[in-house]
Every structure is written in structure tokens, then in C-alpha cells.
Structure 1
């Protein structure tokens, strides 16, 4: 092949080149394969697709007809309805609302990262459909307010609705609900491994007490405290839905917030705490983990929190978590705490060992007393 032909072929090839992400404002992503392969079902819709990535998935075809019915109802009836009429929609003729299992699955599907439409698209359609009502003195709710209400079960902190411009889509809204109200920007740009040298059961041996954060607090799952050897962690439910929302928020942070992975930090921390089934049992007994699994539930909890953070990339380090990890390790290696941990591990692990150790101590004390008395008599 001549040089000119090669040059022409290369030019043609380059013209067809496409960016992996079209613009910096991209907010809908395919979950990276290295993460997705760990649990593909956690990222795949089971009932309905609303975004482009799973459109016409053969498993979701049955919902397409229902979507058209909803669209027809929205265009023909709802856009012409008054506010009072909109409030009187009934569930009897609603195929989703009339079947609780389907409503639950649809709710889960709408939170998946791969199953999204940008929020501004919903907002524009909504504003076009109800312009007179939206202009009627603010009586009619905005779309972001409706979305926040629809997913209010995830808003444990009772946060006010965010500005529509600050939320990319429903998965991003879910992440917003789990961030602390006054989260600060991360100022350690050089990634440093967050490694906790002691698991939950080892921390207990060293004298650390686990306690669920007071439920009267603002309810943020990231609200961790270490005070006078007591580790306070907010309550979190552990079931299949927990794994789904944690996996999708972590995937969103990996793709869209690579330098602000607050939820990933939390998952990594719990993963370090629960390295074994025994460790998971410590947090369950303390009321920190509300386990809804059956069977070998301790193993399932440990696998859940240990698996969500796998194959992720940490590009920044949270100064708060780094101090937290260091303080826990320092507490455990303190000479007195280390000695107590050794005593608990070697001599007080069971009632029989405790009784034998106590008897040995008493015998030693009596021997010392007898020896002192004998010396005095001499």
C-alpha cells in the first residue's frame, strides 16, 4: 500500500472516532465492567427502562405498552386537568400502584445508574404540561419536589428538596439524601490508603465499645463518632435493597464524582470493620446493622459491605476518615489497651477460661500472702 493510501485510510478512521463520554456534562454511565461483574443484577432494571442504555431490553418489553398508556393519559388528560383533578387520580386503574410488588420493583429500577434520564428533561416536559398551574402563585409543586417526595423513604435526614440544577438524575438525588448537610470539600488530593488495622471483634477485645448513634440525630449514615473509646455509628438496614442503592451510588461516584467519593469512604470503613462473620455479629448485636437476611445472616452482612467497595479506585483521601482510622489504631496499640486485649483473648474468651483464670489469680494472691506471712514469722 502506498504512503498516500495509508494516510487517507488513517484520516478516514480518525473521522469516525468517538469520545467515550460525549461532554463533560455527561451524567448517565454504563457501570465499569470490573465493578459490574461483581453483581450484574444490582445494576440492571427488572421491570422498566427509562433511559437509553436498556431501551428495548427483551426482559423489559412487557412494560413498553404500559408506558405508552401512561404517556397517553399524561398528554391527553393530565395536561388539561386542574390541580384538584390531578390530586384525585385513583389506584384501581393504575397497573403499577395496584400491585405493590411491581411498584417496589419500579422504584428500585428508577434508582439504577444505567437506567436514567437527565432530570432537566423531566423538568422541561413537566413545565410544558402544566404551565398555567405552575404559574398560579406556587401552589403546584415543582418536578424536583415531586421527585423528592417520591423517594422520601431514602431521605432519613429530612433534607429540603435540592435545587433542580444541582441534581443530575434520580441516582444523584439518592446520593444527595445520604450526604451530610455540611459536607466539606476534600482537601487531601494525594490518595492515601485507608487501612484499618483492627476489625470490629479485635476493637472490642481492645476495649472499644460499639454504640448506635442516637436516633434523635439528623440521621446521616456518615455521621461517625469516636469518643473515649466508644465508636458511634448510625443505624443502617442490611438487605438486598441496601446493596442495590449502595452499589449504584458508589458506581455514580466512580464515574461522576471521582474526587468526592463520600459514600465509598463509608463503605470501605464498614468493610474494614467486618472482615469476618464474627465482626458482622458485633455490629448487628450493637444495633448498628439492622439485618433482614435469613439463614447465615452474619456472612451475608459481611459479604455485602465487603463486596460493594471491591474493584473501586480511590483518587482522594478524606482527612476526616484518615484521622478516624489512625485514632482507632492508636487506641488499640496503646500499652494498657493492648495488655487488656491480650488478657481477654488468652484468658477470658469463655466462662470456663474466665473461671480458671480467676481461680489462678486468687491462688497466686494467696500464695503471695502466705509467703509474706512466713517471712515475717522468721
Structure 2
């Protein structure tokens, strides 16, 4: 110790003053990694309301703070509500709640408890209000109501699910919390919202995780090391004779099947907020489910299918993608860009075994000599058609010039 120089002493003191952050097994609410965030920062940041400590105090969201307090006031004035009981409950759970966040929270115990209680009360009051009143600006403005609804599924904007259930259950007048929570799950497909309750709500981490559950419905077959190697896009596969059929009967968005030359895919609605929920679910899988990233596999598979606008048009025409973004001739461009952007900077260690099999079968189908000839024939016919059209146009132009020369 006597021979230690000043650098050694400073480094030793720095370690004593500030312990390094260690993510525990309880960690479930994450800051989105920078390499993923940089592709679309706005997809991960709340636009109307902050929930939890990560975005607490953001000046952009201060307008909603007063309304959060109004909701909190209304909540604690309900019958059978005991504010001391809430505070006592959250003080006891405070270390467990704090451990759910991936980064250090610079709030005292008292400050942290206040943030969690106000935000919990706001969410619960938001869920149990069925009708708006003239004084309620949230329910009076559908755009604001929808914006809040989508803010509540952002990965960085979460409270642990067990906290909300604990507070909710202390008020005995309400139905089970899960029934209300499901109303926040937006419809991701034409199958509409999730009807089935999870068998064990304790397995749900937060609203982002609940949304992921609604997309999966059930655990897929399994995983295997290896990357998706789909060698041909949708338009190329269609040229080789592959038929694309929408599977309206499936309740599982990722339930793809290839059989007898037909690829069936459940429908998916693509709208302005689709990129937001896709990005946040994929970010959750990157952080928390590195060995079970089934939604990420789905995004990668559809991205491989849609390399170009023409590829996206194949899925839109088949009714697989119900597109309500873009407009005019931009539908195909918007869809293709969305799926290819979301899959960028994603790390994978394994892949859904069903998708690996389907990719191999699609590649083998395309490489079959007869199917390759069929694809070549269709491309040749297309080239001939284009050539014929150009010939007609040139003939018309030549005729016009001839007439003009005679007239002049």
C-alpha cells in the first residue's frame, strides 16, 4: 500500500466510490442498445407520457404530468383504496422493482416510490376508465389516447407487471388485472386482439412482454444453430411457381407453412405504428430472449422475402399484408423498407427450426430444373412484352415524325 502511486490510489478509490453495474436475473426493462436505437430513435421514445424512471423528467413530456396527477388523485379517492397501504407495499418491493431496470436509477427510495406509485395509478386508471368525460383530455382526443396506448408498450417505458398487479389487487372492486391489461394489446393481424389469457401471469414481465406473448400465443417448435439462408425473394419464387396464400385461420402471427408448392402466411396489418411495436419487441428479444427471438426470426424471414417493392407487392396482392401506410404506389416501398430496416443490426445465435426447414424447402423448390425453367420462361415473356411495347412506341413516334415532315 505504501508504494502505490497516485494512479493506483485513484483507481482503487473509484472502485470503492462507484460499484460497476451488474444486471441481475431480475432485470427485464432495458435501455435499447445504441446500435439498434440509431436506426430510428423515435421508435423507442415516448411521445406523450413517461412511465417509470428512464424517461422521468423529460421536458417534452411535462404536459402530461399534471394529467397523470389528476388520474392518481382520482384513483386514490376510490372506495377501498388505502394510500398508506400502497406506499408500504411499494417500499417493501422497492429493491425488487429497482432490480428490474438495466441501468442505475438516480432516485432516492422516497423519490422512486413516488414515481412508481403515480405511474401505476395512472396506468390502472387509464385501463379502468371506459368512457371519456368533457374534462378528460385523454379520452376526448382519440389521437392522444392512441398515442398513450402505444407509449405503454415501449420497452424503455415500462413498470414491472407484478407491481401493477399488486397495486391493482389491493383495490377489491376491480376484475382481474390481466383482463384489463389485454385491452392495451394492439391488433397485429387480421385476427384482431388476443382473447386468451396467459396461463401464468407471473411469467409476464411487462406490457412489451405481454404484447410479445400475444404474437406468439404458444411456444414454437424449437431452435437450432444456423442462419436463415432463403436464396430467393417472393417475386422470384412466384416466377418459379410458388403460390402465396393468406392463412386467416391461424391465431399465431409467426405460423408459416410450406407444402405442395404453397407458402401460407397469417395476415398482418402494416400501419404507421407497426414499425414501433415491431422494433420494441425485437429489442426486447435482443436484450432478454437471446435464445428465443422468434419475432426477430419472423421479421428476418419476411425481410428476406421482400427485397424489392415487387416482392412486397406479391404479399400485398395475396392478402398476407394489409397495408394502410404510404399511399398510391408507395405501399410496396413502405412495406419492403419497414421489414428490411427493422432487421438491421440484429444479432442471432439460432433460428426457428420451422423457418430453417421452410427456407431449405423453398430453395430446393426453386432449384428444381422444371421450376427454374418456368421462372426463366416467365422472365423471357416479360422481356418480350416490354420489348413489344417499346417497339409500338417507337413505331408511333416514327409515324408522327413522318406525318410532320409531310405537313411541313
* TM-score, scaled relative to structure 2: 0.77
Shift of 1:346: 1.4
Give the Cα–Cα distance (whole angstroms) in 2 for the partners of residues 292 and 88 of structure 1: 29
Query: Is contact 1:280-1:299 (8 Å) kept?
Result: yes
Give the Cα–Cα distance (whole angstroms) in 2 for the partners of residues 107 and 89 of structure 1: 14
1:342 maps to 376
Q: 1:117 to 1:197 in 2, by over 3 A?
A: same
Query: Is contact 2:128-2:180 (8 Å) kept?
Result: no
The aligned runs of 1:1-378 (5 Å cut-off) are: 2-3=3-4, 5-79=6-80, 90-92=131-133, 93-128=135-170, 130-131=171-172, 133=173, 140-151=174-185, 153=187, 156=193, 158-186=195-223, 188=224, 190=225, 192-213=226-247, 215=248, 217-293=249-325, 294-295=327-328, 296-348=330-382, 351=385
Give the Cα–Cα distance (whole angstroms) in 1 for the partners of residues 313 and 365 of structure 2: 22
Give the Cα–Cα distance (whole angstroms) in 1 for the partners of residues 80 and 72 of structure 2: 11
1:365 maps to none
Give the Cα–Cα distance (whole angstroms) in 1 for the partners of residues 301 and 129 of structure 2: 47
What secondary structure, in the 3-state scheme, does the structure 1 residue paired with 2:153 have?
Answer: coil
What secondary structure, in the 3-state scheme, does the structure 2 residue paired with 1:96 have?
Answer: helix
Give the Cα–Cα distance (whole angstroms) in 1 for the partners of residues 301 and 31 of structure 2: 26
Deviations 1:99-146 (A, max 9, x none): 111100000100100110111111122222x14x4xxxxxx4222221
Query: Is contact 1:145-1:161 (8 Å) kept?
Result: no
Deviations 1:216-235 (A, max 9, x none): x2321111111111111111
Q: 1:274 to 1:90 in 2, by over 3 A?
A: closer
Query: Is contact 1:348-1:354 (8 Å) kept?
Result: no
**Once structures 1 and 2 are overlaid, which stretch shifts more, 42-51 or 292-301?**
292-301
Give the Cα–Cα distance (whole angstroms) in 1 for the partners of residues 378 and 19 of structure 2: 62
* TM-score, scaled relative to structure 1: 0.83
Give the Cα–Cα distance (whole angstroms) in 1 for the partners of residues 159 and 276 of structure 2: 19
**Once structures 1 and 2 are overlaid, which stretch shifts more, 28-37 or 3-12?**
3-12
What secondary structure, in the 3-state scheme, does the structure 2 residue paired with 1:97 have?
Answer: helix
CA RMSD in angstroms, aligned pairs only: 2.4
Give the Cα–Cα distance (whole angstroms) in 2 for the partners of residues 88 and 239 of structure 1: 26
Shift of 1:161: 3.8
Unmatched 5+ stretches in structure 1 = 134-139, 356-378
